Amino acid sequence: MADNPFLQPSALPYELPAFDKIRDGHYRPAFEAGMREQRREVDAIAHNPRPPDFENTIVALERSGQVLDRVSTVFSNLNASNTDPEMQKIDAEMAPRLAAHEDAILLDPALYARVDALYRRRASLNLDPESLQLLQRYDTQFVRAGARLSEAEKARLRELNEQLSSLTTRFRQNVLKATADGAVVVDSAAQLEGLSAEQIGAAAQAATARGLAGKWLIPLQNTTNQPPLAQLKNRSLRARIYQASTERCTAGAADNTALIAKLVKLRAERAALLGYANHAAYQLADESAGTPAAVHEMLTKLAPAALAKARQDAADLQKLIDAQAAADHSQPFALQAWDWSYYAEQLRKARYDFDQPQVAPYFELDRVLQDGVFYAAHELYGMSFKERKDLAVYHPDVRVFEVFDADGAPLALFLGDYFARDSKQGGAWMNNYVRQSKLFQLKPVVVNNLNIPKPQPGQPALLTFDEVTAMFHEFGHAIHGMLSNVRYPLLSGTSVPRDFVEYPSQYNEMWAREPAVLAHYAKHYKSGEPMPAELLRKVLAAQTFNQGYATTEYISAALLDQSWHQISESQAPSAENVSAFEAAALQQSGVDYPAVPPRYHSTYFSHIFAGGYSAGYYAYLWSEVLARDTGQWFHSRGGLSRANGDYLRSKVLSRGRSEDPQTLFHDFYGRAPDIGPLLEYRGLTLPNANERASPTSSGS
């Protein structure tokens, strides 16, 4: 234990974890020590002979568990981005124990009695607004965790929580394994017609890394649709890739159907135990939306507009397929899900006179990062970035940047981990390694993860515009964490409701397509020449293209999430009926359209079954309403400027959850949110133009 790096704060700048000293063997002892330490601290708080006050109870709870927080934070981050078999064993072992540890705190009657006593007399405590918000959050946490249940009910709740933690861990590990195992092996380069030379080289390198020299490997990403489908001419290969994607976790050792059946059943039982009609009602009670009805109203108002646009585009795609079949005297076929992206790219080229290979050379990763993502942050908030190559990282692909405020003061560390690998879960996300807190005098350390295919040595990483947008999106989360300026860790940065946390990230996406920003980073990776003005104009004009597909696949997944979590315990299907339940849910929601499958099918829907978004996947669209309103606010006031950025920073981005998030948005925007800017941004119109579906009208 003497050399365990988790037992004391890191001595590195910003308390960056000492990645070069951390070994798998350190985790278990640190978890054990951390739980013991926090249990002692909490016992001392609960049985303090002095009457409860804000400092000896609430602030004391904030100060507890620092060793456990350090090891948990590093472990959860690395287990997602650079795992190994031993870490997965530790994860499976520790998940139920950590759940039990949390229950031991939140279900402690003596501890809750002190919190409750303070909450009941909160008006007389004369707390500042942030401290009052902290007290309210602690009371809410205890109540939602079951602090008011009987002892018998608490015993059952502990059992449920331990089982659920184990099931979600297994689900996550199964998706990681099935996604890696599902990679499609290609025997001939001729089958890869349509991919660029750089992409073909990356596929060869991926195959070699798995001991498949002389072959090519198409790794899977976490979503249903796979990026190579937009370029591959070989239809049978497209079908193989699509099938590999959709069949993940449906059979074999990584089969998730039984886990899903058990998860939704146990979640429903837990919700009932806590006094809620279903898991969705329980989850949404602590979100901005408030109720499942509010979420359903927004999604079902938008779904017809999105689906109508998707069907209209599908008809145009079918015409394109039929015309090509007639021209080359081949057999025509009906548009399928694995055809959509390929023919959509051709339709994009026909409508806007450009395609992905034309624009890719202008989106080189480092230039997008430095001259796009960082540039926008500098222009808006005065942030500047200096790469630090003197700090150890957990993988050679990771880059570290020190971030400085407008006055030159040190602000944060930012880690960028952009390339895909088998040890990394799919998707894109932001996490904290150190959370900002004035209580502990800590500045933030945040990381962005993406899964961009790594190019061959010496070759550029050329991005799709979707990948460019993802970089801006995740950096929006990073900004939310780095600009945080609050006292208490529980309220810091991104510690806000799920349907608010996506707001800063969805908003930051707008700068990817802002003409002044796009022109600053869209430069040819070889010559440095800017993207020609005419091509730039076409790229911007095409941004609403295919939004029927994108919005429909998202809404389908969000409605599927709600269907899974609005059922009672008795309505939970068996493992054999998971697929049938999904099909029926999509049909009943009116989004059953085979050409546009949901963004995630249930068996690999990690957001809701392993990622904390259960009954909350709607949050991206809910937050995007706020984001597009914010975009309109910026443009009405001159767009990219320090004055505008600093105002948003002062009203929202620096505030964490120091005040109710809905209040923060209203104070910034000056009025209730409206869905109009979102529809305009996506190029959609409601079937009834007089309808206004907004978070406010649906119970926000």
Q: Token match 């025509």: residue?
A: 332
> What is the pLDDT averaged over residues 36-54?
98
pLDDT at position 691 is 43
Asked if 321 and 339 count as a contact pair (C-beta separation under 8 A), the reply is yes
Tokens of 252: 């074999």
The answer on pLDDT for 692 being more than 80 is no
Q: 61: phi > 0 → left, psi -120 to 50 → alpha, else beta; which?
A: alpha
Asked if 159 and 167 count as a contact pair (C-beta separation under 8 A), the reply is no
pLDDT per residue over 543-556, tens digit each? 899 999 999 999 99
Q: What share of the chain is helix, strand, coil (3-state, %, to 5)?
A: 60, 5, 35
Our measurement of the distance from residue 450's CA atom to the centroid of its chain's CA atoms, rounded to an integer in Å, reads 10
Q: Give the C-alpha separation, 556 to 260, whole Å.
A: 18
pLDDT at position 687 is 57
Averaged confidence pLDDT in the chain: 95
Nearest to 481 by CA among 413, 560, 410: 413
pLDDT at position 689 is 42
- Domains of the chain, first to last: 13-148 (1.20.1050.40), 182-248 (no CATH), 360-524 (1.10.1370.40)
Q: Which residue has the higher pLDDT, 69 or 300?
A: 69
The answer on pLDDT for 698 being more than 70 is no
pLDDT per residue over 252-286, tens digit each? 999 999 999 999 999 999 999 999 999 999 999 99
pLDDT at position 685 is 79
Which H/E stretch holds residue 334?
none
The 10 Å Cβ neighbour count of residue 407 is 7
The answer on pLDDT for 1 being more than 80 is no
The 10 Å Cβ neighbour count of residue 164 is 20
Tokens of 2: 């003497």
The answer on pLDDT for 15 being more than 50 is yes
Q: Give the C-alpha separation, 495 to 480, whole Å.
A: 10
**288-315: b or e for each residue (b if 16 or more CB lie within 10 Å)?**
bbbebebbbbbbebbbbbbbebbeebbe
What does the DSSP assignment read for 414-476? EEEEEE--TTS-SS-EEEEEE--BTTTTB--EEEEEEEEPPPPTTS--BPPHHHHHHHHHHHH
> What is the pLDDT averaged over residues 674-682?
90
Q: Which residue has the higher pLDDT, 540 or 572?
A: 572
The answer on pLDDT for 354 being more than 90 is no
pLDDT-wise least confident of 27-41, 216-230, 447-461, 681-695: 681-695
Nearest to 697 by CA among 304, 292, 289: 289
The answer on pLDDT for 55 being more than 60 is yes
pLDDT per residue over 137-153, tens digit each? 999 999 999 999 999 99
DSSP state of 371: I
Residue 18: partners with Cβ closer than 8 Å, 6 or more residues away: 5, 10, 11, 12, 392
| Amino acid type, 617 | Y
Asked if 486 and 516 count as a contact pair (C-beta separation under 8 A), the reply is no
The answer on pLDDT for 693 being more than 60 is no
Tokens of 268: 């429903």
| Amino acid type, 441 | Q
pLDDT per residue over 599-656, tens digit each? 999 999 999 999 999 999 999 999 999 999 999 999 999 999 999 999 999 999 999 9
> First-to-last CA distance in the chain?
49
The answer on pLDDT for 660 being more than 90 is yes
What does the DSSP assignment read for 26-74? HHHHHHHHHHHHHHHHHHHHHT-SSPP-IIIIIIHHHHS-HHHHHHHHH
Reading across the β-sheet that carries 445-452, which strands appear in turn? 384-387, 399-404, 410-419, 445-452, 429-434
pLDDT per residue over 501-531, tens digit each? 999 999 999 999 999 999 999 999 999 999 9
pLDDT at position 254 is 97
Q: Give the C-alpha separation, 439 to 656, whole Å.
A: 14
Residue 482's φ and ψ, nearest 5 degrees, are -75, -30
Residue 450's φ and ψ, nearest 5 degrees, are -130, 180
The answer on pLDDT for 688 being more than 70 is no
pLDDT at position 694 is 42
DSSP state of 218: E
Give the percent of the chain with pLDDT over 90. Answer: 93
3-state secondary structure of 411: strand
Q: Give the C-alpha separation, 659 to 650, whole Å.
A: 13
The answer on pLDDT for 385 being more than 60 is yes
> What is the pLDDT averaged over residues 568-572?
97
Q: Give the C-alpha separation, 272 to 285, whole Å.
A: 14
Asked if 287 and 614 count as a contact pair (C-beta separation under 8 A), the reply is no
**373-398: b or e for each residue (b if 16 or more CB lie within 10 Å)?**
bbbbbbbbbbbbbeebeebebbeebb
Query: Which residues are 442's β-sheet partners?
Result: 437
> What is the pLDDT averaged over residues 169-177?
97
Nearest to 86 by CA among 394, 420, 397, 423: 423
Q: Where are the alpha helices (DSSP H) in 145-234?
A: 151-181, 197-209
Which H/E stretch holds residue 248?
none
> pTM for the complete prediction?
0.93
Asked if 532 and 358 count as a contact pair (C-beta separation under 8 A), the reply is no
Catalytic residues: 474
Tokens of 3: 């050399």
The answer on pLDDT for 418 being more than 60 is yes
249 to 178, 412, 578, 592: CA distances (angstroms): 6, 39, 12, 21
